[in-house]
């Protein structure tokens, strides 16, 4: 059973959506949201005691000097287990919520961490909780003034001694295996940046819902939305070289990730973070932090400008999501994009073709063209494995490859849907990707087929 607050949240979202997009669009979105909630069977299952005990033993072996490869039983890129510096910029959280945060950190099965709390609050809740907590891994200090989330986080980072910094909001919680799973992924990949899946929990931290199971790093989906969010872990030296910028407070993590190298980002496909929902939180009341969405838009605009990409950024229909219009077109603006595909729909506006996986399965097949899907992925630009040639645009450099694969020139646009055409579409996109190009799926690029 979902908490009552989600009903209030849905009503607020529907009203705000109608104001932005009209009553008809809002009605469709509300109906889709109701269908998804009734079909949701998600239940967060914490790791068993046996699993956590095994993880604790692994950590003790690592701290005793055993090789990471022996303990984790996989090929590893790091010879020793990393230490995490968990950064918490705190400013007047609920005492109850902050106590739960501390408990979730101190209950980690992986003990190689320090909890650094930069307190900018005035209600004394943070200091009271930490005075009652005796653990040498906690580093607490008061800030002379509240400089905002970026400045406060940077201050916490200056006290950090770990190999990686991890970011934790002052009213959220980690799962008990969060740091173990991050350590395992870090030693296996050596990645500079790691992120996990997440879910939401009610104000009491007892009911968990709306899991956000994220894709591996996807450039164009990231340009549309900071889906990485929580739990985010980054090498301390990298963070120290960049830091957070106060002018993007509210979307400071988005700005940070837009500026980092994109070559070593590892997705840990497990829910390791509980995002608490209450009336003051972004999760519980998106309207309470409209400034965050504006900051995200500004961060993306700043990124494009720094890269010399001519583009206009606007808010999409979905708050926190952005639409990029490239000038004069995406191929001129971005040399990394080779193919753009869209939605292929039938006369009933049902999706029959478009974005495909390696096996040729059409993502969102059968959905209405107006559906947005989980995390709005059916309505948001993103990189794809392949797209359908019947709804495809390509850059000029790929025209020779197009003729080689399809046997005709690009201008002829083969339209009948066949198994062979699907296979050719996949082959063309696969070879374009081998040449270093991205395959971008744009849901606003729509064609109707009679097939």
User: Considering the domain boundaries, does residue 71 fall inside one?
Assistant: yes
User: Considering the domain boundaries, does residue 93 fall inside one?
Assistant: yes
> Poorest-confidence range of 18-22, 109-113, 293-297?
18-22
Is the pLDDT at 281 greater than 70? The verdict is no
User: Considering the domain boundaries, does residue 231 fall inside one?
Assistant: yes
Is the pLDDT at 32 greater than 80? The verdict is no
* pLDDT for position 29: 58
Is the pLDDT at 385 greater than 60? The verdict is yes
Asked if 33 and 77 sit in the same domain, the reply is: no
Asked if 356 and 429 sit in the same domain, the reply is: yes
387-424, pLDDT tens digit by residue?
A: 999 999 999 999 999 999 999 999 866 666 688 999 99
* pLDDT for position 227: 96
Task: Quote the percentage of the chain above a pLDDT of 90.
Answer: 81
Asked if 19 and 78 sit in the same domain, the reply is: no
Asked if 277 and 336 sit in the same domain, the reply is: no
* pLDDT for position 199: 96
| Total domain count, the chain | 3
User: Considering the domain boundaries, does residue 294 fall inside one?
Assistant: no
Asked if 113 and 235 sit in the same domain, the reply is: yes
User: Considering the domain boundaries, does residue 320 fall inside one?
Assistant: no
User: Considering the domain boundaries, does residue 300 fall inside one?
Assistant: no
The span from the CA of 221 to the CA of 225, in Å, is 6
> Poorest-confidence range of 174-178, 247-251, 368-372?
368-372
* pLDDT for position 223: 97
* pLDDT for position 4: 47
Is the pLDDT at 262 greater than 70? The verdict is yes
Asked if 69 and 173 sit in the same domain, the reply is: yes
Domain boundary among 287, 316, 338: 287
Asked if 435 and 360 sit in the same domain, the reply is: yes
* pLDDT for position 419: 87
* Structural domain for 9, as ranges: 4-41
Region 240-250: mean pLDDT is 97
Asked if 252 and 229 sit in the same domain, the reply is: yes
Q: What is the 3-state secondary structure (H, E, C) of the chain?
A: CCCHHHHHHHHHHHHHHHHHHCHHHHHHHHHHHHHHHHHCCCCCCCCCHHHHHHHHHHHHHHHCCCCHHHHHCCCCCCCCCCCEEEEEEECCCCHHHHHHHHHHHHCCCCCCEEEEEEECCCCCHHHHHHHCCCCCCEEEEECCCCCCHHHHHHHHHCCCCCCEEEECCCCCEECCCHHHHHHHHHHHHCCCEEEEEEEEECCCCCCEEEEECCCCCCHHHHHHCCCCCCCEEEEHHHHHHHCCCHHHCCCHHHHHHHHCCCCCEEEEEEEEEEEECCCCCCCCCHHHHHHHHHHHHHHHHHHHHHHCCCEEEEECCCCCCEEEEECCCHHHHCCCEEEEEEEEECCCCEEEECEECCCCCECCCCCECCCCCHHHHHHCCEECCEECHHHEEECHHHHHHHHHHHCCCHHHCCCCCCHHHHHHHHHHHHHHHHCCCEEEEEEEEEEECCC
Region 242-256: mean pLDDT is 97
Alpha-carbon 181 to chain mean position: 17
Angle between helices 49-63 and 178-189 in degrees, nearest 10:
50
Q: What's this model's pTM, rounded to 2 decimal places?
A: 0.90
188-223, pLDDT tens digit by residue?
A: 999 999 999 999 999 999 999 999 999 999 999 999
pLDDT band at 33 (very low <50, low <70, confident <90, very high): low
Asked if 255 and 339 sit in the same domain, the reply is: no
Region 226-232: mean pLDDT is 96
- For all residues of the chain together, what is the average pLDDT? 91
Domain of 84: which CATH number? Answer: 3.90.550.10
Region 60-74: mean pLDDT is 93
Is the pLDDT at 167 greater than 50? The verdict is yes
Asked if 269 and 344 sit in the same domain, the reply is: no
Domain boundary among 235, 254, 287: 287
289-314, pLDDT tens digit by residue?
A: 789 999 999 999 999 999 999 999 99
Residue scoring higher pLDDT (414 or 376)? 376
Region 106-119: mean pLDDT is 98
Domain boundary among 262, 287, 312: 287
User: Considering the domain boundaries, does residue 309 fall inside one?
Assistant: no
Asked if 198 and 228 sit in the same domain, the reply is: yes
Residue scoring higher pLDDT (1 or 130)? 130
Asked if 157 and 174 sit in the same domain, the reply is: yes
User: Considering the domain boundaries, does residue 307 fall inside one?
Assistant: no
């Amino acid at each position: 059973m979902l908490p009552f607050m989600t009903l209030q949240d849905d009503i607020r979202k529907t009203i705000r959506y109608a104001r932005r997009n009209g009553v008809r669009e809002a009605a469709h979105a509300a109906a889709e949201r109701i269908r998804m909630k009734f079909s949701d069977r998600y239940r967060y299952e914490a790791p068993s005691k046996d699993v956590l005990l095994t993880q604790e033993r692994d950590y003790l072996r690592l701290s005793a000097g055993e090789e990471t490869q022996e303990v984790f039983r996989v090929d590893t890129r790091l010879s020793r287990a990393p230490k995490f510096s968990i950064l918490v910029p705190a400013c007047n959280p609920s005492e109850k919520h902050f106590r739960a945060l501390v408990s979730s950190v101190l209950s980690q099965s992986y003990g190689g961490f320090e909890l650094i709390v930069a307190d900018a609050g005035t209600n004394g809740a943070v200091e009271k909780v930490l005075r009652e907590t005796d653990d040498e891994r906690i580093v607490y200090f008061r800030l002379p003034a509240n400089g905002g989330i970026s400045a406060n986080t940077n201050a916490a980072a200056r006290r950090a001694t770990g190999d990686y910094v991890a970011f934790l909001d002052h009213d959220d919680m980690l799962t008990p295996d969060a740091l173990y799973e991050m350590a395992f992924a870090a030693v296996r990949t050596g990645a500079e940046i790691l992120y996990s899946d997440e879910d939401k929990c009610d104000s009491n931290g007892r009911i968990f819902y709306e899991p956000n199971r994220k894709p591996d790093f996807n450039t164009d989906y990231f340009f549309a939305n900071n889906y990485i969010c929580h739990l985010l872990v980054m090498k301390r030296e990298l963070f120290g070289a960049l830091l957070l910028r106060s002018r993007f407070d509210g979307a400071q993590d988005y700005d940070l990730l837009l500026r980092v190298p994109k070559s070593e980002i590892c997705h840990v496909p497990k829910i390791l973070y509980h995002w608490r929902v209450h009336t003051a939180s972004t999760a519980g009341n998106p309207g309470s932090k409209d400034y965050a969405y504006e900051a995200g838009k500004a961060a993306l605009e700043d990124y494009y400008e720094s890269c010399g990409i001519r583009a206009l950024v606007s808010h999409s229909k979905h708050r926190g999501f952005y639409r990029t219009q490239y000038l004069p077109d995406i191929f001129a603006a971005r040399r990394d994009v080779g193919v753009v595909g869209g939605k292929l729909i039938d006369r009933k506006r049902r999706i029959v073709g478009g974005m495909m996986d390696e096996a040729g399965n059409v993502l969102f097949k059968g959905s209405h063209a107006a559906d947005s899907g989980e995390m709005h992925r059916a309505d948001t630009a993103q990189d794809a494995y392949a797209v359908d040639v019947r709804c495809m645009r390509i850059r000029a450099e790929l025209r020779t490859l197009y003729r080689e694969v399809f046997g005709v020139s690009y201008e002829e646009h083969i339209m009948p849907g066949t198994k062979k055409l699907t296979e050719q579409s996949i082959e063309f996109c696969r070879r374009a990707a081998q040449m270093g190009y991205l395959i971008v799926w744009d849901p606003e690029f729509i064609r109707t087929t009679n097939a």
